[in-house]
């Protein structure tokens, strides 16, 4: 599974959240990679990003976060 998006320091913006929302609307499961953050910071930021897009943090491994948000019932696949 290729990275769907990347997040670097200071790039958690409204535009990034919008991009992530569009990805989650399209494919439900998104893989995000942190560019330059250290251990504990990554987990905290992963929680914040997931909360901002109303997604569930499935897993944080190293610099990679896997998040999931189910499509609303009745939406196209």
Q: Give the residue, 4 or 26, on which the prediction is more confident.
A: 26
Query: In the predicted model, what is the mean pLDDT of residues 5-31?
Result: 83
Q: From residue 14, how far is each of 52, 53, 59, 77 by CA, in Å?
A: 10, 11, 23, 26
- Domain locations along the chain: 5-68
* CATH placement of domain 5-68: 3.30.110.60
| pTM attached to this predicted model | 0.79
What is the tens place of the pLDDT at every residue in 21-76? Answer: 999 998 899 998 887 766 677 888 889 899 999 999 999 998 899 999 998 777 66
For position 43, what pLDDT does the model report? 84
| Cβ neighbours for 19, distance < 8 A, ≥ 6 positions apart | 5
For position 51, what pLDDT does the model report? 94
Q: Tokens for 14?
A: 């409204």
């Amino acid at each position: 599974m290729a990275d769907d998006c990347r997040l670097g320091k200071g790039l958690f913006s409204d535009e990034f959240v919008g991009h992530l929302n569009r990805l989650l609307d399209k494919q439900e499961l998104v893989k995000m990679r942190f560019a330059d953050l250290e251990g504990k910071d990554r987990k905290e930021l992963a929680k914040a990003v997931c909360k901002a897009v109303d997604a569930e943090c499935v897993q944080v491994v190293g610099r990679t976060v896997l998040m999931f948000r189910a499509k609303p019932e009745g939406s196209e696949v």
